[in-house]
Structure 1
Amino acid sequence: MFVAMKRRALSTPLEVLFLLLLSNICCGSESDIECLRTLKQSLKDPHNYLVDWDFTNLYFEGSICSFTGVECWSATENKVLNLHLSNMGLEGHFPLGLEDCSSLTGLDLSNNHLSGPIPADISKTLTFVTTLDLSNNRFSGEIPIGLSNCRYLNVLDLQHNQLTGEIPWQMCHLIRLTSINVDDNLLSGPIPPFFSNLSSGSFANNPGLCDQLQTPDCPSIYEGNINFCGPPVSNNFSGTDAGMSSFYLSMGVGFATGFWVIFGALLFNMTWRTAYFLFMDSISDKIYVFVVLKWNRLIASIKRNKA
């Protein structure tokens, strides 16, 4: 996580403020409405959870934001931020039309009855996704290599499906990934060693999956991969922690008791400290994606005005 944070290029605070101030001049397009319309048509909804997805009376901006499972960037703008479609009994394949939800950052299709392969071009469909939950379905086939191009992905949950093949080594390019779960699938081959640096990783109940660090005869994922990302980066920050502890100890006399109630907990409780940094990491990614989307929308608006 810390390595990923160092490698990431973030906009300066002034750039972020400038783009946010300009955000009001850009408005949502019809593409998100078409996205939801196509998605609904591509799925079976036996329990009528999506019955309120009515596209006949959309007279004002933000109309789709009241749809079940739809979360928008703003309640007054037809721009979908997240789709929460879990536990709805939906049937069919991976839904169509999601590429038209160009601002989508979160997709939750867990606990449904979806089947078939995960699209090979999923990175083109979900360009800015940070959270993807396809767990507890019936997806089959291999984990697509294209998933490694979803470069903003933080959380990936594929557990309880019927996925086969190996975990693509190209997923080492997902430098923002903090959590992955592929429990209860039919995966085989080695677990990529770079996943050992994640805060949360689960690979249980895959009969053919092996750990290179614990299984001597497990094949090496490095063999034949000329463009491999390299061996896992050491995650030893003990020196940094010790230095920070000494700093806080030397400055302790100057701090009030109330300060230590909050920051002392983060300093001495590793679980809380980890959760704090993961939260801040996730927030920074969402801000970055938000700024990029607003900037692209601004450029598109300027081009339309010139035309």
Structure 2
Amino acid sequence: MMGSSLPRLEALDLRNNRFFGDIPSTFNNCMSLVLLNLEGNNFSGGIQTWMPQDISILKLRSNQFTGNIPPQLCCLLNLTILDLANNEFSGSIPHCLHNATSLPSFTNVLPGPVSNHFFTTAKDFMKIDLHTKGQQLEYGKTLKLVRSIDLSANKLSGGIPVQLFKLTELQSLNLSYNYLIGEIPEQIGEMKDLESLDLSHNNLHGNIPQSMSGLSFLDVLNLSYNHFSGQIPLGTQLQSFDAWSYAGNPDLCGPPLQKHCTIPDNTEKVEENEDDGFMKSLYLGMGVGFAVGFWVVCGSLVLNRAWRHSYFRFFNGVVDRIYVIVAIKLQKFR
């Protein structure tokens, strides 16, 4: 088998062939394997038992792998490029994935003879195509400086783990074309080296975190076709992208979109509150005044006998005069 006969194999590139079936578990015996590229084949099954522990570049793009992304990937402490795009992976993104790619430079942590020999010779003959920044780019001499994760075009679900944004050295993150839900964690602002971010075609919602406006190296951004809402955070960074970066989010507003954000006008509410307060004070004053006047008059009549008699004599006199005037007018009318 290949794994047992090539224990010192450092790079294996089988891309764009017609290989199919499961990956042989004997790959695990390739203790020196640093680069494994199986892109563009028909491999299937899972990837749980055959991963060499020293691997740094793992490209399984465009195959037919199924099942969950195994947590065993978190044990690959030298991993800096992980490309599992365009497969049939399902389930959630492992929360521990940041353990695998959090190292600043894998050339500093790989066994000296392996890493130095590989990257010294690889720059002369090894070139790898990476899908990043919205296009396919070829890397050669600068390969050892690249840190990238691409899990796009799978069937991943659940939220984006907050732990993933601890990858402060990551340069490219692509989670597009999945079924991810939830909000973008505010911690994304800690990924200061991020140059390319693609979260398009998911079911993410909520506001775009204000911390993203501080990603000064961000060159490519795609948040289209989600359910984001609210105003795009102000700052020269997020306003520099084209409107298509935010397309398919009807509840988003603010530059660079043509849709302006509606700012609530509190002036009318203040005026209405002032008018309401004035009317309430007026009615209250009228009520108090009527009550005071009523009790002043009635209280005087109740407490003072002479005033009471005078009032009733006056009232009877008025009634008598009105009766006489009315009677005379009716007699004249007849």
TM-score in terms of structure 1 length: 0.48
TM-score (norm 2): 0.44
